[in-house]
């Protein structure tokens, strides 16, 4: 949005996001490579998610590396889990760089288009977009809260044996 409105240079934005995303996932990969299995064993839910990530990595290979950033709840654990796999670091480095670029351009491009929409709306455009984002966020939190309460209630009525 800021790039379309002239607040920030689009190429600087993409470059910064690209490098930040790439470096962050490389750090998580190395942490997974160094301490992954021991650290995951301390957090059972993370271990479950990591197992799922490794199954997807085995099934989809490089395609999974290209898309995991876009999957809600997967990005946080994916690089650590991949670090615990047998994937060579050089292969992850290469595909992570490509994937980070795709992700950076996707989100910067979406922001650029929303910036265009904000400019079309007029002076109140940015305010309307921010309020819309807050409303969507509040709705998401409400839905997640309701689902969490239902899961807890269901677990209470059907305790694991």
In a domain, 1, yes or no: no
In a domain, 5, yes or no: no
Distance CA 85, CA 32 (A): 9
- Residue 87 sits in the same domain as residue 141: no
Biggest alpha carbon–alpha carbon distance for the chain = 60
- Residue 33 sits in the same domain as residue 111: yes
Which residue range(s) make up the domain with 146? 123-161
The three-class DSSP label of residue 133 is helix
Predicted confidence (pLDDT) per residue in 31-83, tens digit: 999 998 888 888 888 888 899 999 999 999 999 999 999 888 888 899 999 99
- Residue 75 sits in the same domain as residue 20: yes
Distance CA 156, CA 88 (A): 44
- Residue 26 sits in the same domain as residue 62: yes
Length of the chain equals 161
Predicted confidence (pLDDT) per residue in 110-141, tens digit: 887 777 666 666 677 677 778 888 999 999 99
- Give the residue carrying structure tokens 């305790």: 159
CA distances from 3 to 49, 66, 114, 116 (A): 36, 25, 10, 10
* Tally of structural domains, the chain: 2
| pTM (predicted TM-score) | 0.69
DSSP 5: T
In a domain, 80, yes or no: yes
């Amino acid at each position: 949005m800021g790039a379309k409105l002239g607040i920030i240079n689009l190429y600087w934005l993409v470059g910064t996001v690209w490098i930040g995303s790439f470096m962050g996932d490389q750090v998580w990969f190395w942490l997974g490579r160094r301490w992954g299995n021991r650290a995951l064993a301390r957090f059972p839910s993370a271990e479950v998610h990591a197992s799922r990530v490794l199954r997807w990595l085995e099934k989809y290979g490089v395609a999974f590396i290209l898309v995991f950033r876009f999957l809600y709840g997967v990005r946080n654990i994916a690089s650590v889990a991949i670090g615990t796999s047998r994937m060579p670091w050089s292969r992850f480095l290469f595909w992570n760089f490509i994937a980070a670029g795709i992700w950076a351009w996707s989100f910067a491009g979406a922001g650029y288009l929303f910036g265009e929409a904000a400019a079309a709306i007029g002076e109140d455009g940015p305010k309307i977009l921010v309020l819309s984002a807050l409303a969507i966020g509040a709705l998401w939190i409400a839905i997640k809260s309701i689902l969490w309460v239902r899961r807890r209630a269901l677990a209470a009525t059907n305790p694991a044996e």
